[in-house]
Amino acid sequence: MSFKVQLTAQLQANKLPHAILLHGPIGSGKTALAHWLTSVLACHQPEFNGAEINACQHCKACLLIKSQTYPDHLTLMSHGASLGVDDIRHANSFLEKTAQLGGYKTVLIPDAQAMTIAAANALLKTLEEPSKNSLLILMVRDMDMLLPTIISRCHVLSIRSVVGKALLEKLGSQALAHGDTLKSEENFYNLTHLAELTDSEVYQDYIEFRQQYIAFLHGQTSEHNLLQQALQTPHAIRWLEKITCNLLRQAQWPQNDKQTDTAEINLSIEVFNQLYKVIIKHTKVIKSYTQSNEQFVVEQLLMALNDIVKSSTRR
């Protein structure tokens, strides 16, 4: 089910969450989805198109949104700096006031990872005691940059762009040149309900696994150590795919990610491409054979990753 259909149903049932966390890489359509939702909530005569609701584009609210003067929405921009306590307090008091046009109050924080710890703690209060008819939308590229306490209080929508599904072919054709953001509003894939997003123990495993994998890419830990950790989790291959996909994204758009891990990993985009391809290949092997021995596939995959990392550092 697409996110728009899912959110439309929640809206109709009057069950829209008070806080939504949109998680996904650059170009995955987070912004488009956030704008769609805030304009639908603002619109006085939203229209139905099948199971999907859309803003009418011509009522008073829609016109105010177009001219960026809609009074009941606030976009909290970080402008490359961090978001501090005062920024969050401003958003909190904005949400507490009654809507001028009588509908929803919405706040969008496009760079949620820019919040300082103090700011995140200030936000927690709002998340715990949301005002009526208010919606807070946070956007983040990398869940690891948010406090777990924030994540657990939000309804998480994890978006994947065409990358996961079709990057392989794209990479083959070298279509992923710099700046190709693969933007498409229709390419929302629902990855919500992943164990690491809902279970704090699995989340901790994920963080440790990620550290180990990054250390492995640095050449600071052995394939054997990574394998030991990989065999302890049923999510190893999916996590390898997810982390590598994020690293590849960061390597491609370093100007957009100030706090990157790739800055320290001395591997080229081409090497990340190779790693990603080999992970996808093994993911397909796992999925195509019901009888496949998962441990064997994980071992084979790590050997292949090791070969790539080793040969890249030899050059």
Can you give the binding site for Zn ion, defined by CB under 5 A? 43, 55-56, 59, 62
Please report where in the chains the tokens 């949620």 appear, as a residue.
112
- If the CB atoms of residues 56 and 215 are measured against Zn ion, the closer one turns out to be 56
Say how far apart CA 238 and CA 251 lie, in whole Å.
Answer: 20
Min dist. Cβ of residue 62 to Zn ion (A): 3
- If the CB atoms of residues 57 and 232 are measured against Zn ion, the closer one turns out to be 57
What is the SS3 string spanning 92-155? HHHHHCCCCCCCCEEEEECCHHHECHHHHHHHHHHHHCCCCCEEEEEEECCHHHCCHHHHHCCE
Secondary element (H or E) of residue 39:
helix 30-42
- If the CB atoms of residues 104 and 276 are measured against Zn ion, the closer one turns out to be 104
β-strands 52-54, 155-160: how paired?
unpaired
Min dist. Cβ of residue 13 to Zn ion (A): 21
Min dist. Cβ of residue 234 to Zn ion (A): 46
What is residue 24's three-state secondary structure? coil
What is residue 144's three-state secondary structure? helix
What is residue 53's three-state secondary structure? strand
Min dist. Cβ of residue 39 to Zn ion (A): 8
* CA torsion, ordered 64, 68, 69, 74, to nearest 10 deg: 120
Min dist. Cβ of residue 225 to Zn ion (A): 57
Closest CA to 137 of 263, 268, 9, 42: 42
- If the CB atoms of residues 39 and 134 are measured against Zn ion, the closer one turns out to be 39
**Cα distance between the two ends of the chain:** 46
Q: Which two tokens stand for residue 203?
A: 């989340």
Q: What is the DSSP-derived secondary structure letter of residue 49?
A: E
Q: Which two tokens stand for residue 240?
A: 């390898």
Min dist. Cβ of residue 42 to Zn ion (A): 7
- If the CB atoms of residues 39 and 92 are measured against Zn ion, the closer one turns out to be 39
Residue type, 122: A
- If the CB atoms of residues 21 and 55 are measured against Zn ion, the closer one turns out to be 55
Min dist. Cβ of residue 40 to Zn ion (A): 9
- If the CB atoms of residues 11 and 195 are measured against Zn ion, the closer one turns out to be 11
